[in-house]
Structure formats: C-alpha cells, structure tokens
Structure 1
C-alpha cells in the first residue's frame, strides 16, 4: 500500500527503526530539542558507538537528520517522516472503520447482500 509517497520499503525502514525503545526515546528527545550525539550518549547505559548506530538507523529511516556543527554531530527530528507514517496508520484505521460499518450494516439488516 502506497500512502502519500510512502513506499513499502520506506514504511519498513520507519517501523523497524521505531520497533526499538531506545530509538523511540531518541526520536522523542530530538523532536523536543535537537541534541548532539554526545549528549544523547550520556543518557543511555551503552557505548557512544552503540548510540551512533541507533542514530544511523533512525537517519536511514528518515526519522532524524544529522548536521555537523564544529566538532559535534547535531541530531534533530524529522516530523515530516512521522507524518507519513501517521498517514499510513490513518489509512489502516480508515479500512478498519469501513469494515466495521459493513459489519454493522449486516447486523442491522442480515438480508442485505454484500
């Protein structure tokens, strides 16, 4: 299912990235305020390299972007990608509501043919 330019491959990368709680936490933090990879690494009981790998997964999924400022890598959230993922979830919800409406109409009038 393609929703507003969100291909299956892109959706896979987004949801695989968000499947990890550390990455979800990183996304939340950098949406609230951009942060350096170093400051992010201080918040987790893992190596700096491990945090860098999490950020790289999020960057490949388009959920964050990195920018070099001097010696630091600054990470910020990409709300546009989150909106795309939300549009896909909204499309699934719309399909579900259609299914419920069909079921309700069958219950209301079981003689209807669908």
Structure 2
C-alpha cells in the first residue's frame, strides 16, 4: 500500500498522546478537517517535501494531489510546544520509581513520533 514504518510510528504517537490527554488528539470529520486540527498543534511541514507520510494513505489516493495543493496553499503554523500540548498536570506525580516514565521523557518521545514529515527531523 506504500506505507512505511513512519506511519506506524505516527499511529503509536497518536495512541500514546490520546492515552495521556484522555481523548482524541486530532478529531477531524474528514481528511481536510483532520489536517487543520493537526497543523493547529504541530508545525506545518515544509511544502517542498512531496512524500509526507500522512498524505500517502490509500484512502486519499483519489484526491491526494488536490489535498497536496490545498496543504501547500495554506498558511504555515509554528505549532505548540509539547510542554503546552502535554502539560505536567496530565502525568502522575514524579516518584523515585525507576520504572515510571517521567513527563519530560514522554514529551520527548512524543515529539519524535508526532512528526508530520520525518525527513525534516
């Protein structure tokens, strides 16, 4: 289907983020609305990149060029910091237990998984 492991990493990042936030991260009603939700939170990828992992979904193949044109003509957004997207209050209190994932480590992992265009990272 043309998928790479990047799509799986993105999916795991979404699931992890949803578990931390307690709800859907990007609750779009269709692919355009979902894209708008994504770029409201994450930095808009560079428009010159043509192999964005999220634009390769087979369900969007029929109108992927239309969608790319739409994306390339939208304003670029800087996104929010992962500290703001996943504030400390969403995590259990820090403990001395070495098995617990600290909030900063979780945010770092999320920031590496929730990347729209992995070639920019």
* Larger helix proportion of the pair: 1
Q: What TM-score do the two structures reach when normalised by structure 1?
A: 0.35
| Greater gyration radius | 1
* Larger strand proportion of the pair: 1
Q: Higher relative CO (CA 8 A, sep ≥ 6), structure 1 or 2? A: 2
Q: What TM-score do the two structures reach when normalised by structure 2?
A: 0.33
